[in-house]
Structure 1
Amino acid sequence: MWNQTRISKLLHVDYPILQGPFGGNLSSVALVTTVSNAGGLGGYGAYTLSPQEIVSVHNQIRSQTNKPYNLNLWVSDTDAINGTVNDEAFQQTAALYKPYFDEAGIPLPAKPQPFQSRFENQLQVVLDLKPEVFSFMFGTLSPDIMEQLKKRNIKTIGAATTLDEAIALEATGVDAIIASGFEAGGHRPSFMASAESSVTGTFVLVQLIKEKIKTPVIAAGGIATGKGIAAAFTLGAEAAQIGTAFLACDESNAPAIHRKMLFTDASKYTTLSRAFTGRLGRGITSRIAKDLLHQEDKILPFPLQTQFMSPLRTAALEKEKWDMVLFWGGQISPILKHTKAKELMHALIEETTAIL
């Protein structure tokens, strides 16, 4: 059977189908538990949460399922040197974005407060809670951390956007590697070269990685159907991680307008942009992303840019100025069909079974 792979056995799931863990408050307990209860692996993106909030989420998930789930964090959660920027850099960004804040009828925000990395404190919670699966992005973990995770029998999954990153992850002893292709929605989790230069497509990346490493590979990016899963498996993947298709489901924590946009003609056009968070990510093309395409040097580093843009996003949503909002989504969006996570899981399983 196609579903009996090293990944499904490793993660103790019936089907090697992973729901992408969304950051930025887009993950939900309902989505995670629906996918896990259906035999896949639900995923919760927790990089913005405090340790106490992670504990709360974990307890909520545990109250609704006893099946494995994946808790996800970012190894590198800031690009700002000493957590801040000088006043001159901030004023440059403020001047660039002032027309959009004026259009939304709100004042420019003050310079963001210095950001302190939360990863170490978040990681300690992971070690204490011992979720079955811990996935991470934007880097590798130290030998000491890997040893602590293995002692607790926590399975580890790292994300790679290039062959070099996959080789680096395998050297640390991860249990599985996500091959994150150019087509995927959300942030590009590159960590060895610039995100702009790490844009290999999913199916090429899977083949490159399979040629050089022995660690099981999970294909991610541009997959939303059983045909996509079957194609990934044919090329050597042993699981598929699906993001946008699950993000569009009612159970996700994406705003209703975000989910709706993924089913409109607008979803045919996506772009990679730093304009909203300071890190390169794919979403439905917006006016701001197009206007600022070649002005990345005037954008604040992550996550200061996210903080700076937060009031503009809120105002744009309230005033229905959709072209000023980045709605995360991958290139596969135009073929999405399902709005219920359970129905999507059943369709993925049935379609893949019919093909393989």
Structure 2
Amino acid sequence: MRMVEAFLAAESDERTGEIPDLFLRFDIPFLNPAKYGDELREALLSMEQESRVGLAEAGLPANWQCPTLSGGQSDADTFLMVCASLREHYASLCEHLVAVLIPKYVADDGAWLKWLRQTVENAQATHVRIVVLDDARTLALEPLAQALPERVVTQVARLEMGRALEELSKEAGQLNTPGGQFRDLFVRMSHAASKGDTAKTERLGAQAVELAHSQGWHPLVVTAHFVMGSALLATQKPQEALSRYQQAETAAAAAEEQGNPQGATLRLKSRMAQGAALVATEQYTQAATLYQGTASLAHELKDPPMELECWRMASWCREMAREPDQAWALSQRAWEVGSSMNDEARASSTLPYVGEALLRLGRGRPGEHELESSIASVLGEDWRPKNTKGGQAS
């Protein structure tokens, strides 16, 4: 319902006056420059499709049709064209459609800057805008602003974001409904966590858990426990964090039993978080056992990078527990999983750390001298990770 919320906010918020804008957020990873625009377009189409029922219920037109795409256009051009068509359809509700691009991951900073520049240079739609966040410490996108001053405007944000989000939550209203109440609790809890106020985080988190549980919203119960667990870890309370992550796993299992497709994935994430808490308390044997047991779940979910990480961390924990033979065997399991992944998945995985572990644990074992060339044949000559931190990825 992201588009429904955005349209209603733009239409009803008195502060927007006569020029309400519609902001749509895209967090798709920037992996392949040639396909990124197509991925953005597909995400936009999904937003529009999932919002049709809500738009109709709100008395808003829900009959937009995606324009036919002609050949010869770049992926970015087709994305902007679809944005322009959608904004034109809802012209009475918004002055501009603003695509907020916040990639979860950028594989190549140079390619990202090049994609943005080409997109901005070719943009034709008057009422479509693009917003991109930059790090004020590095200003990686500043060359774009300097090269295209007539098309790019920069603005330094001096907002206290936690407080701003709390205010936005209250202004969004519906605090008399379970959904609105949970949203407000979650925002306030997250703000408290960002300030290191664990007492307030746990107090609000407990209320959020109780509310979500009463509604049968098990995935949201997991989310609330995660916020509390992260806050406790950040304030050097790993044992208390472990308890929160264990409760998160219980809620994830309940979601799974209800047939919620997110259940198994949330259970996997909960177990990985438990492993991190156990490592923080140096309970390496228990952590290794947990990681080993979690590898099968990652395998069932067809998530090779996570399965690799389970075996890798199990090996590292066994090594820390001074069980080198078990650590060696587990590193080999991790290598088997990682070396069978495709090139793209392997490039962003922790397989180089597994290679380091194999070299370290393989000293004095049969085949020791062939290990490095064997690893290089899979990862390339320049395969070693920049920072091994004793074998654990940073």
Is this a same-fold pair by TM over 0.5?
Answer: no
Structure (1 or 2) with the greater helix fraction: 2
Q: Which has the larger radius of gyration?
A: 2
Greater RCO between the two (CA within 8 Å, min separation 6)?
1
